[in-house]
């Protein structure tokens, strides 16, 4: 078989769309699992806030005093910052994990505009 025919067989099999649908399904399940266990009233549960903060600071300190890798310091700083910002959002009564008040299609909607003159725009 030639390379072109192998390419046609591979593209016509539809594995790409099945794989993409499978990835979307896994993403949806992980999001639901996260919301069910780690989120309460739009906030991250306090246990997970403490866990993120302590694990992040622990990774940061272990890297500074024991392993000296550099990348673990950055990862620990990121995890600790996530826990700290989640705690700050709880104190300020900001709900970062709450559903948005607008419909999901609102962000993907395309709005058509018609230009009559260079400075004048009208919406249809």
How many domains, the chain?
Answer: 1
* SS3 category, 122: strand
Q: Is residue 1 part of a domain?
A: no
58 is a domain residue: yes
In-domain check, residue 119 = no
**Quick check: 23 pLDDT over 60?**
yes
By residue range, what is the domain housing residue 80? 13-97
Q: Give the tens place of pLDDT for each residue, 36-84.
A: 877 777 778 888 888 888 898 888 889 888 888 878 888 888 988 888 8
Is this model's pTM higher than 0.85 or not? no
User: Is the residue at 123 inside a domain?
Assistant: no
Q: Is residue 122 part of a domain?
A: no
Please report whether residue 109 resides in a domain. Answer: no
Residue 117 lies in a domain: no
Across-strand partners of 114?
Answer: 122
Q: What is the pLDDT of residues 62-72, one digit of tens each?
A: 988 888 887 88
Cα separation, 64 vs 73, in Å, equals 7
């Amino acid at each position: 078989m030639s390379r072109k025919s192998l390419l046609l067989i591979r593209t016509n099999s539809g594995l790409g769309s099945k794989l993409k649908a499978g990835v979307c399904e896994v993403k949806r399940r992980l999001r639901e699992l996260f919301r069910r266990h780690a989120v309460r009233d739009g906030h991250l549960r306090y246990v997970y806030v403490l866990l993120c903060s302590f694990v992040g600071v622990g990774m940061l300190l272990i890297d500074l005093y024991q392993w000296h890798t550099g990348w673990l310091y950055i990862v620990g700083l990121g995890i600790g910052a996530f826990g700290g910002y989640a705690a700050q959002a709880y104190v300020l009564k900001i709900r970062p994990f709450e559903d948005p008040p607008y419909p999901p299609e609102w962000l993907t909607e395309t709005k058509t505009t018609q230009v009559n003159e260079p400075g004048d725009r009208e919406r249809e």
